[in-house]
Amino acid sequence: MNEVLIEPSSQELYALILSKDDCYNDDARLFVDFLKKRQYGVTQTGLEEYARYLDSLIDGKRYSANTYNKRLQGAKQRLRHLFENSPSAEHDATRLRFERALNAVKLKKINSTAVSRENVLTEQEVNQLITESTDKTVSLMVEFLYATGCRISEMLGILLTNMVKSNGKYIIRVLGKRRKERKVFAATALVEKVKEQFQGSVYLFEHNGEQYDRISVTRRIAYQGSIILRKHISAHTFRHSCATALLEKTKNLKGVSKYLGHSSVSTTANLYVHSELTWEDISATAPISA
């Protein structure tokens, strides 16, 4: 069914799709280039064929399930943004047809809930982002997220009154999921840098006397990551990276689970105990080739 998903004409929509600035910029450009080249327009068929294209061999390669899902999700997110800002959004019947059309094009199922190593940054990559970022706000927030393993909402909600200085570190009370409180640690030098930069009066991280917006911060982090590391990252990437590094260094699954504020040790294990065999693992046990 070659139903037009959004009015007006496709040429106008192409420009609108590319005008939004978020973590899906590269995906949006790929989507628009495909639609223009194949002349499908912004139609249901266009989206369906785009999904088939993403699942095909491209320059002799095929996208991983994670990359396929990100590309397709990027196209859907931009289409939803356009729809919400179009006159059609006022009509329930049109909205229902639109959502059915998008939902009919499925993302790939990924069996494991584990965080892939592809989605974990190395310490060197984190340091590169911190030192090369042109956005001082992002640089300090990235350093804090990686150092503490905080969720973005936890970090932005830290009250100055919930921090205690002790023996070269700060002990910080954060409010996690289901309003469950726990303690995290941060080096005194890092916290003092944050205080000096943000000049908070109530929260550790403040902007003009106001609490930072979680979505805005995540977008700024994603932008710097795409420019410096050429990777799709989010604020949560640094929690994943911190957790992986802590497990590899301490081997203390129960301790890391408690520090991260997980409801159970199994949650931590499922997410961060990487059970895939690497080439180094396999080659170490393989017969030596003559």
List the pLDDT tens digit at each of the 290 positions of the chain.
Answer: 455 565 545 667 787 788 877 778 888 899 989 988 988 878 888 899 999 999 998 888 888 887 898 899 989 988 888 888 888 778 888 888 888 888 889 988 765 566 667 778 999 999 999 999 999 999 999 999 999 999 999 999 999 999 999 999 999 999 988 888 999 999 999 999 999 999 999 999 999 889 999 999 999 999 999 999 988 899 999 999 999 899 888 888 889 999 999 888 877 887 877 555 566 656 666 565 54
Residue 22 lies in a domain: yes
Asked if 38 is an active-site residue, the reply is: no
Q: Does 221 lie in the same domain as 135?
A: yes
Structural domain boundaries, residue 34: 10-103
Interatomic CA distance for residues 137 and 125, integer angstroms: 18
* The two structure tokens encoding residue 258: 């408690």
Q: Does 254 lie in the same domain as 131?
A: yes
Asked if 207 is an active-site residue, the reply is: no
Q: Pick from 103, 138, 158: which residue ends a domain?
A: 103
Residue 112 lies in a domain: no
Catalytic-labelled residue, pool 63, 212, 259, 272 = 272
Residue 285 lies in a domain: no
Interatomic CA distance for residues 241 and 180, integer angstroms: 22
Q: Does 260 lie in the same domain as 138?
A: yes
Asked if 240 is an active-site residue, the reply is: no
Q: Does 185 lie in the same domain as 97?
A: no
CATH code for the domain in which residue 198 is found: 1.10.443.10
Catalytic-labelled residue, pool 76, 78, 151, 232 = 151
Residue 283 lies in a domain: no
Q: Give the helix ranges, DSSP H, for 92-151.
A: 92-103, 123-132, 136-148
If we measure between CA atoms, which residue out of 125, 103, 113, 122 comes closest to residue 47?
103
- End-to-end, the C-alpha distance of the chain in Å comes to 58
Asked if 214 is an active-site residue, the reply is: no
Residue 109 lies in a domain: no
Residue 41 lies in a domain: yes
Q: Pick from 44, 78, 103: which residue ends a domain?
A: 103
Asked if 20 is an active-site residue, the reply is: no
The model's pTM? 0.60
Crossing angle, helix 123-132 and helix 214-228, to 10 degrees? 100
> Domain total for the chain?
2
Residue 111's pLDDT is 55
Could you tell me where the beta strands, DSSP code E, fall in the chain? Answer: 163-166, 169-175, 181-187, 206-207, 210-211
Catalytic-labelled residue, pool 70, 71, 232, 239 = 239
Q: Does 131 lie in the same domain as 91?
A: no
Asked if 239 is an active-site residue, the reply is: yes
Which strands sit side by side in the sheet containing 169-175, from one edge to the other?
163-166, 169-175, 181-187
Catalytic-labelled residue, pool 62, 117, 177, 180 = 177
